[in-house]
Amino acid sequence: MRPYRPALLWAALLLAACGDRDTTDDSQDTATYEELREIDAGPYSVSWAPVPDPIPFNDYFAVNLEVKEGGSPLTDAVVTVDAGMPAHGHGMNVTPTVTDNGDGTWTADGLLFHMEGHWELKVDVNEEQAVFDITCCAQ
């Protein structure tokens, strides 16, 4: 009968666990469904809502953002908004302006999706980024 070697088994498990460590250092969360209106980015929870809703095709719209940390509104943060079509490698033809409402909400104005298809709405909160997948646009 061969001797049982639990130490070797544990060493293998530890090596496997350590090997995964690099991939867990990921500051970007990507939403899988366009219906997803709230996702986590690092310690922050980011939710968005377009105005008007649904987003109009080839017309200006705004995005209301709400950012929380630990369930409380985040009132002191740098928030920027951008959007692009990853399959086409381009962004918007306009530059949105972001207003800090001072209560954990931000308003991004002047967004415009000039093509139909898959867009990514990227919301940067300090050093983190939340990416929302959006299919443009409901007719």
Is residue 137 at the binding interface for Cu ion, with CB under 5 A as the rule? Answer: no
Q: Which of 55, 79, 82, 54 has its CA nearest to residue 67?
A: 79
Q: Alpha-carbon distance 115 to 127, whole Å?
A: 29
Q: Which is nearer to Cu ion, 85 or 111 (CB)?
A: 85
Classify residue 17 by burial, with Cβ atoms within 10 Å: 0-12, 13-18, 19+: exposed
**113-132 footprint of Cu ion as x/- string (CB under 5 A):** --x-----------------
Task: Using CB under 5 A, pick the residue from 39, 65, 85, 134 that binds Cu ion.
Answer: 85
Are 95 and 80 in contact by the 8 Å Cβ rule? The answer is no
C-alpha pair distances (Å), 73 with each of 47, 82, 101:
11, 22, 11
For residue 86, the minimal CB distance to Cu ion (Å) is 9
CB of 131 to Cu ion, least distance (A): 17
Nearest distance, CB of residue 139 and Cu ion, angstroms: 17
**Which is closer to Cu ion, CB of 73 or CB of 88?**
88
Residues in contact with Cu ion by the rule CB under 5 A: 85, 88, 115
